[in-house]
A and B are shown apart, each in its own frame.
Chain A
């Protein structure tokens, strides 16, 4: 079974530029998550999708971050304009959501450096 795929793996941009990250979850997984992991910290949830609907985006900085999950499969996370403090690893995870307690499966992440 293929895992969660993310691209690109690395991205370097200058502040005020825009950037987009792509995630392809495990086939059949209904729930998709985007996390931000700043160096030296644990992952922090940005947004949670159930199929193609948003369950929780309370921690997403909506003035600059946006995310969508068209057709309930792939997802894109965008930052526009980027700030220095957005430098982090952006992790995508998915879960099947068939049990009360689910395991989340993580992709390798996209490492973003904002100069």
Chain B
């Protein structure tokens, strides 16, 4: 069965600093990969997704992610964090059946 690991439970960065959130997946074939963001009291909003092709994927709000098959990773990056980026971030994998398996999430705090 597929699984997703987000090693960092909580990350704090200063506003304007760069950000990288880690995601590792376990799945036998090429997965479909997603990053979602959840603000307090809100549902999940899709940031970006990878299905095939270019391994560097651009998303909304200035986020990007890179799929690395050799490392089974799909890390999320942003060159300069804004205070409004403070939220919880979830990596997810779809491995058939149109079902998502989520990681436990990484909470991002931003210091002004």
Chain B residue contacts of A56, Cβ below 8 A: 97, 99
What chain B residues lie within 8 Å of A67 (beta carbons)? none
Query: Does B85 have its Cβ within 8 Å of any Cβ on chain A?
Result: no
| Bound: A109/B45 CA distance, A | 12
From B4, B42, B51, B98, A97 is in contact (CB under 8 Å) with B98
Q: Is the interface of B mostly helix, strand, loop or mixed?
A: strand
Q: How many chain B residues touch the partner (CB < 8 A)?
A: 24
Complex interface: chain A residues within 8 A of B90 (CB): 42-43
B98 touches A107 (CB 8 A): no
- Indicate whether A48 sits within 8 Å of B105 (C-beta atoms), given known contacts A106-B44, A106-B45: no
Q: Are A101 and B32 interface neighbours, CB within 8 A?
A: yes
Chain A residues with CB below 8 A from B4, complex form? 42
Task: Please tell me if the beta carbons of A40 and B100 are within 8 angstroms of each other in the complex.
Answer: no
Q: Nearest CB to that of B32 among chain A residues?
A: A101
CB pair B94–A42 under 8 Å, yes or no, is: no
Write the A93-104 contact mask toward B (1 if CB under 8 angstroms, else 0).
101010001111
Q: How far is the CB of A60 from chain B (nearest CB, A)?
A: 13
Which B residues are closer than 8 A to A by beta carbons? 4, 32, 34, 36, 41-46, 49, 51, 90, 92, 94, 97-105
**18 intermolecular pairs with C-beta atoms under 8 Å apart:** A4-B43, A31-B98, A40-B104, A41-B105, A42-B90, A44-B102, A45-B99, A56-B97, A56-B99, A91-B43, A101-B32, A102-B98, A103-B34, A104-B100, A106-B36, A106-B43, A106-B44, A107-B43
Residues of A within 8 A of B (CB): 4, 31, 33, 40-45, 48, 55-56, 91, 93, 95, 97, 101-109, 111
Known: A56-B99, A101-B32. 7 other contacts (CB 8 A): A42-B4, A45-B99, A48-B97, A91-B43, A102-B98, A106-B44, A107-B43
